[in-house]
């Protein structure tokens, strides 16, 4: 894929993200239910992947995956950065990283849309934000999306991971990122710069990513299959009910 095609794709994804997060177009963006969905999912992921977060080898990569790529944090800064500084971003970002950012944003877009659908399914016709437990979450999961959409979400997550592993092996990329730190900060792209550096540092520290990605992919695909099959224990027998932070 040429750089120009990647840039066009990046612009399109950024535009779609901005539209998807618009609270005027979709008030669910500002609903307490959406915040609860994300907090619950983050708590569930913390339990599912506690062993990776406790591992000296995988800790940094797990934190990056479960917070920056797949978590509950506010990432609207990406929309603002991209909207304001797309020409600057395209000039200073190495081509290998440009495609990875694009895929990360596509993952962000798909995950955001799925979260919106799930929040609406949980909310139903109630005027109050519903409580969320495994049973309620599983029912909303099945009615708010298709198995293909969830498979695509996991596939995108795996693709970003494989791309990061490849990028960290490309000579000089880390040096370019470090050199870009000052210009990025002056251009108002400090958040994006630190996002890229966190991902780069996490995968450099981990080394080979095959086993890490295999664990995440296999567990998430199994959980998705069980959720769609209405398995009463979709996250495994004895799994504790997630307790999101207040």
Split into its structural domains, the chain has a count of: 1
Structure tokens at 26: 């979709």
Q: Is residue 234 part of a domain?
A: no
Q: How confident is the model at residue 79 (pLDDT cuts 50, 70, 90)?
A: low
pLDDT at 65: 85
Reply yes or no on whether the pLDDT at 40 is more than 90.
Answer: yes
Average pLDDT of span 43-48: 92
Share of the chain above pLDDT 70, in %: 80
Q: Is residue 128 part of a domain?
A: yes
Q: Is residue 236 part of a domain?
A: no
Q: Is residue 233 part of a domain?
A: no
pLDDT at 89: 64
Reply yes or no on whether the pLDDT at 138 is more than 90.
Answer: yes
Reply yes or no on whether the pLDDT at 219 is more than 90.
Answer: yes
Q: Is residue 218 part of a domain?
A: yes
**Most confident stretch, 22-36, 87-101, 142-156:** 142-156
The Cβ of residue 188 has, within 10 Å, a number of other Cβ atoms equal to 14
Reply yes or no on whether the pLDDT at 246 is more than 60.
Answer: no
pLDDT at 112: 93
On average, the pLDDT of the chain sits at 84
Which residues form the domain of 95?
3-228
pLDDT at 229: 97
104-115: burial string, b at 16+ Cβ within 10 Å, e else: bbbbbbbbbbbb
Q: Is residue 241 part of a domain?
A: no
Q: Is residue 124 part of a domain?
A: yes
The tens digit of pLDDT for each residue in 90-100 reads: 676 667 777 88
Q: Which residues contact 136 (CB under 8 A, 6 or more apart)?
A: 122, 130
Closest listed residue to residue 177, CA positions, set 165, 163, 189? 189
Residue, of 246 and 150, whose pLDDT is higher = 150
Structure tokens at 223: 């959980």
pLDDT at 143: 96
The tens digit of pLDDT for each residue in 155-207 reads: 999 998 998 888 777 766 666 667 666 666 666 666 767 777 888 888 888 88
What gap in Å lies between CA 41 and CA 37, rounded to an integer?
Answer: 6
**Most confident stretch, 27-41, 57-71, 117-131:** 27-41
pLDDT at 203: 87
- H helices of 21-168, in order, are 32-48, 50-53, 59-63, 76-92, 95-123, 134-144, 147-167
Q: Is residue 15 part of a domain?
A: yes
What gap in Å lies between CA 132 and CA 21, rounded to an integer?
Answer: 22
């Amino acid at each position: 894929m040429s750089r120009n095609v990647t840039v066009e794709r990046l612009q399109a994804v950024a535009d779609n993200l901005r539209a998807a997060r618009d609270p005027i177009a979709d008030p669910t963006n500002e609903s307490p239910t959406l915040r609860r969905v994300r907090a619950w999912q983050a708590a569930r992921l913390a339990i599912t992947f506690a062993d990776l977060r406790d591992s000296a080898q995988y800790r940094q990569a797990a934190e990056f995956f479960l917070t920056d790529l797949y978590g509950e944090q506010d990432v609207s800064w990406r929309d603002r950065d991209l909207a304001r500084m797309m020409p600057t971003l395209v000039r200073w970002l190495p081509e290998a990283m440009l495609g990875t950012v694009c895929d990360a944003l596509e993952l962000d877009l798909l995950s955001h849309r799925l979260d919106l659908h799930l929040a609406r399914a949980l909310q139903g016709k109630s005027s109050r934000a519903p409580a969320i437990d495994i049973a309620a979450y599983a029912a909303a999961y099945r009615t708010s999306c298709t198995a293909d959409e969830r498979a695509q979400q996991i596939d995108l997550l795996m693709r970003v991971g494989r791309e990061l592993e490849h990028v960290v092996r490309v000579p000089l990329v880390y040096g370019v990122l470090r050199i870009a730190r000052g210009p990025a900060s002056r251009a108002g792209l400090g958040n994006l710069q630190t996002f890229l550096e966190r991902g780069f540092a996490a995968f450099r520290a981990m080394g080979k990513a095959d086993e890490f990605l295999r664990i995440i992919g296999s567990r998430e695909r199994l959980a998705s299959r069980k959720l769609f099959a209405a398995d009463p224990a979709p996250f495994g027998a004895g799994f504790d009910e997630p307790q999101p932070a207040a």
